[in-house]
Amino acid sequence: MLEVFKKYINDKTSLPEEDLNEILSYAIIKKLRRRQFLLQEGDIWRYNAFICSGFVRTYSVDDKGTEHIMNFSPENYWTGDRESLTNETPSKFNIEALENTEVLLIKKQDFEMLCKKIPLFNNLINNILHKSFLTSQSRIHSSISQSSEDKYNNFVLKFPTIANRVPQHMIASYIGISPETLSRIRSQATKK
Amino acid sequence: MLEVFKKYINDKTSLPEEDLNEILSYAIIKKLRRRQFLLQEGDIWRYNAFICSGFVRTYSVDDKGTEHIMNFSPENYWTGDRESLTNETPSKFNIEALENTEVLLIKKQDFEMLCKKIPLFNNLINNILHKSFLTSQSRIHSSISQSSEDKYNNFVLKFPTIANRVPQHMIASYIGISPETLSRIRSQATKK
DNA sequence: TAAAAACGTTGACATTTGTCAAGAGTTTTT
DNA sequence: AAAAACTCTTGACAAATGTCAACGTTTTTA
């Protein structure tokens, strides 16, 4: 369980054993069953969260009750709500386990302290932020420039494992189209 | 000219004078006239760029010749193409001055060296990345959950000065709708 | 194992949006 | 000052997408 996190850190950077152990000493383990929530709209998010196993989604619900998926986070990825964490404001999002999931949590203050104390860890975290930013940019570019069909193909191309792991209507939600439209796009594509 | 940058840094962090001067010693000043390019598609972007005065836009051009605006960067903001800079791959984007513009450039290697050498500067830069990420997330959420009209209102609300500074069709491009649709949305809105 | 919930598909129809073309007003360039 | 380029609007029409409802299938839950 902690092994997953250790392996992740060791793959990403050469952190001394003792630093890694210090980080782990602040880790809180949380197990979620399918459909359980890690965060609910209106609550303030106060952690950094690493998915050791399983799979979660981050989504909002609008006035009409429609869900909009901001993110999928499988094992070896981080999740959370940066906005709520930073500003200490109620979150607009829900984070829900799509499968039974094990999460490693580190409290905001502990996390900040660790970043200050361990520069290599700080670098690692900033690298992740950097990658997340690039991913966001790519998604924005897709959203303003591509057709629905291209958005879907692009999604499957970039996230093949996720595409195979979630129901189709969640992909539709992620790319911002209705499930019916996605269904039609797919059936038309196979005719070709 | 350099004063703008100095003021920016001093407003954001309390950096010793000598550190600031070291940073400035690597600065390259570039002046752009309206419609001149800071970066052209296909070139590799090798700098970090701070806009001291003026205004630029980052956009791509698709197969049909349609432009898609990724970003507006007025004075006191950073610009560039992080993807091209990081991976040293040809950029998909153009960065063009919308007004006569003064840019402060720092070469990638110099910039990285400065970040390593001056932790406060590193923190500042990571804070900017953090804010950029939050802005991206907000734009993504808008793009998957809002109607065109709401996207427009949201844009004007969040970036009132930019909305007043650029032609309408560029706002349309930024939010991912056609200029005609935006024109109609606006005219219908005023009827209410 | 029976009931309930979730999932994907399809049809019918309404709504939104894009496309193309024209024109009037404005700004920029020469 | 005239010409050119740009900007926004509008109409007519086509294309894309959303909505609602129904249905069969699969998966989950009790």
Per residue, what are the HEC states of A148-159? Answer: HHHHHHHHHHHC
H/E stretch holding B130: helix B119-145
Distance from CA(B173) to C1'(D2), angstroms, rounded: 33
Sheet of B55-61, strand order: B37-39, B94-97, B55-61, B67-74
* A184: pLDDT strictly greater than 60: yes
Q: Which pLDDT score, from 0 to 100, does residue B190 have?
A: 78
Q: Which pLDDT score, from 0 to 100, does residue B189 have?
A: 83
Q: Is the distance between the Cβ of A138 and the closest atom of strand C smaller than 7 Å?
A: no
User: Which residue ranges form the domains of chain B, and what is each CATH number?
Assistant: 2-118 (2.60.120.10)
Q: Is the distance between the Cβ of B179 and the closest atom of strand D smaller than 7 Å?
A: yes
pLDDT band of A190, cuts 50, 70, 90: confident
The beta strands (E) that lie in chain A are given as 28-32, 37-39, 47-53, 55-61, 67-74, 78-79, 94-97, 101-107
Q: Which pLDDT score, from 0 to 100, does residue A90 have?
A: 98
Q: Report the candidate in B33, B133, B20 with the shortest Cα–Cα distance to residue B82.
A: B133
pLDDT band of A137, cuts 50, 70, 90: very high
Q: In which residue ranges of chain B is pLDDT below 50? A: none
* A109: pLDDT strictly greater than 80: yes
Question: Which stretch of A1-5, A58-62, A134-138, A174-178 has the lowest confidence by average pLDDT?
Answer: A1-5
Residues making up chain A, counted from first to last: 192
Q: Check: CB of residue A64 under 8 Å from CB of residue A126.
A: no
- Is B99 buried (19+), middle (13-18) or exposed (0-12) by CB count in 10 A? middle
Helix axes B119-145, B2-12, angle to 10 degrees: 90
Within residues 109-148 of protein chain A, the ones with CB less than 7 A from nucleic strand D are: 147-148
Q: Which pLDDT score, from 0 to 100, does residue B191 have?
A: 63
Q: Which chain A residues are within 8 Å of B133, Cβ to Cβ?
A: 82, 129, 132-133, 136
Can you tell me whether residue A107 is helix, strand or coil? strand
